[in-house]
Amino acid sequence: MPTHHHDRILILDFGSQVTQLIARRVREAGVYCEIWPFDAAPSDRVDAFGPKGIILSGGPASVTDTHTPRAPDHVFTRGLPVLGICYGQQTLVAQLGGAVETSDHREFGRAYLDVTEASPLFDGVWAASAREQVWMSHGDRVTRLPEGFRVIGTSEGAPFAAIADEARRFYGVQFHPEVVHTPHGDRLFRSFVRGICGAAGDWTMAAFRAEAIDKIRTRVGAGKVILGLSGGVDSSVAAVLLHEAIGDRLTCIFVDHGLMRAGEAEEVVSLFRGHYNIPLVHVEAAERFLGRLDGVDDPEAKRKIIGATFIEVFDAEAAKIGGAEFLAQGTLYPDVIESVSVTGGPSVTIKSHHNVGGLPDGMTLTLVEPLRELFKDEVRALGRELGLPDRFIGRHPFPGPGLAIRVPGAVSADKLDTLRKADTIYLEEIRRAGLYDAVWQAFAVLLPVRTVGVMGDSRSYDHVCALRAVTSTDGMTADYYPFPHDFLGRVATRIINEVRGINRVVYDITSKPPGTIEWE
């Protein structure tokens, strides 16, 4: 449960793809919020949560159909401010006695909102009579307002693009203020949650740090905690936070599977053991992993072997740590949000998250998940607050199976070694060009293809190295990064000159979809 003394906002989810962005904008305004499925918000649960306001998300349904989602009636009788977005606006209108119709003028993408009237919703956001870019995605539109409402903004395809009932503090917008394509959307959320709802902007990572430490101490008491440290941002931040709370009663287990990038294992060990002085078990298990992977070329088989071996090694080490009662994980909020099923089926499915699988028989550990209220950007901010180096916090995501999925086909120590050298040069050049932070993920791939080349006076017959760099916000979709040609040329020349075994470099320009970010 979240801490009790922060004002909070409740977001009811109608299944939009971008509901999480609403929560992120609200939190950026310094206000704690949670996302609940629209049909998992009975009155007593909402009472207990005690929100200062409610936001109704967008969603794929049409309120003009029967049996489509509706907000619980109590949402409109609590005396709380309500903001409906897209589908949320339409259901608000339909439920309060207005009308919504399927329009033959559908609006998708960029649109312009004409602010027609001043409203507290627009305070500090847009001036009266301004024309502002917004993002629309709708087929239905409001055609008659419920009593008490007036229009405060219009767009070409939506005459009721922004509506308000100031007396009841009910608002609706047809556009999506949560997406970046509505440039001032963040201010609109701030105006709603801070101005209209009157929520205090006290959700900061400095406050979270102090409260999380108290909560960990209460939960763990005098117990001992084990944490699987991967070197990624989430487990690293969880480790430092736990260590601050319980000191040496935390032991981190770092399973080094031999599939890390150059220097990475040493960096993790020196940072956590050396700098932070956190008890750390460094399990050097490369031989075991590579032995199991020997000759295996099927990508899924490789993943399964790595996953199973990881659990085996972790469990064996965990069992050696006497008296531990708790297992800490770096689970984040997106992993625990209950999601709305828009395809029928059970209306609520809860995603579960398991970084560490089974534990040995007889070992019953209680989970501690100190980051489960946070989004990734909040975890990074908390990491900075805890003094983790920027270089560490800003690291690109790295997959659990590591370099094994960047060597398509069978993996060997030699191939990994070659790949590491190429990858190091590539990342070095990216950093030197100041592009590291502009890219979501960048890495080299060692292809199982050999091609002919001329090196000096002789022919070579060596491997091809593919370079990948993408931009993305969540890893679900991605675009290739448009490096300048001279940059790519420089990296290719360095790799071919400096890495024995590679004589050709190619750049991957596939987006996701249809491609994936990794090659396996």
Binding site for ligand XMP (CB under 6 A): 303, 397, 399-401, 441, 475, 512, 516-518
In which region does residue 450 sit, left (phi positive, over 0), alpha (psi from -120 to 50) or beta (all else)? beta
Pairing of strands 170-173, 82-85: parallel
Nearest approach in angstroms of CB 34 to ligand XMP is: 25
Nearest approach in angstroms of CB 159 to ligand XMP is: 41
User: Cβ contacts of residue 187 below 8 Å, gap of 6+?
Assistant: 124, 125
171 vs 92: CA distance, rounded Å: 9
Nearest approach in angstroms of CB 517 to ligand XMP is: 3
Q: For tokens 């990508």, name the residue.
A: 299
DSSP 279: -
Closest to 299 (Cα-Cα) out of 398, 403, 404: 404
- The tokens for 274 are 């050396």
- The tokens for 438 are 């502009």
Largest CA distance in the chain: 86
Nearest approach in angstroms of CB 292 to ligand XMP is: 16
Nearest approach in angstroms of CB 507 to ligand XMP is: 17
Q: Is 86 a catalytic residue?
A: yes
Report the residue number, 76 or 507, with the smaller CB distance to ligand XMP. 507
Marked catalytic residue, from 6, 138, 176, 282? 176
Report the residue number, 219 or 303, with the smaller CB distance to ligand XMP. 303
448 vs 450: CA distance, rounded Å: 7
Marked catalytic residue, from 178, 378, 429, 520? 178
Report the residue number, 195 or 299, with the smaller CB distance to ligand XMP. 299
Marked catalytic residue, from 86, 197, 252, 465? 86
Q: For tokens 């020349």, name the residue.
A: 493
Burial level of 65, CB count in 10 A (0-12/13-18/19+)?
exposed
Report the residue number, 153 or 399, with the smaller CB distance to ligand XMP. 399
Nearest approach in angstroms of CB 472 to ligand XMP is: 8
Q: What is the CA radius of gyration of the chain?
A: 26
Three-state SS for 228-239 is ECCCCHHHHHHH
Report the residue number, 274 or 397, with the smaller CB distance to ligand XMP. 397
Nearest approach in angstroms of CB 515 to ligand XMP is: 8
452 vs 456: CA distance, rounded Å: 13
Q: Is 178 a catalytic residue?
A: yes
Distances (CA, A) of 138 to 141, 157, 170, 196: 7, 9, 21, 26
143 vs 150: CA distance, rounded Å: 12
CA angle, corner 373, sides to 23 and 78, nearest 5?
55
- List the alpha helices (DSSP H) in 129-232: 185-190, 205-220
Nearest approach in angstroms of CB 391 to ligand XMP is: 19
Report the residue number, 306 or 492, with the smaller CB distance to ligand XMP. 306
Q: Is 67 a catalytic residue?
A: no
Report the residue number, 25 or 302, with the smaller CB distance to ligand XMP. 302
DSSP 307: H
**Residue 487 parent element (H or E):** helix 485-498
Report the residue number, 389 or 397, with the smaller CB distance to ligand XMP. 397
DSSP string computed for 337-399: -EEE-SSSSSSEEE----SS----TT---EEE-TTTT--HHHHHHHHHHTT--HHHHTPPP--
Give catalytic residues, as residue numbers.
Answer: 86, 176, 178
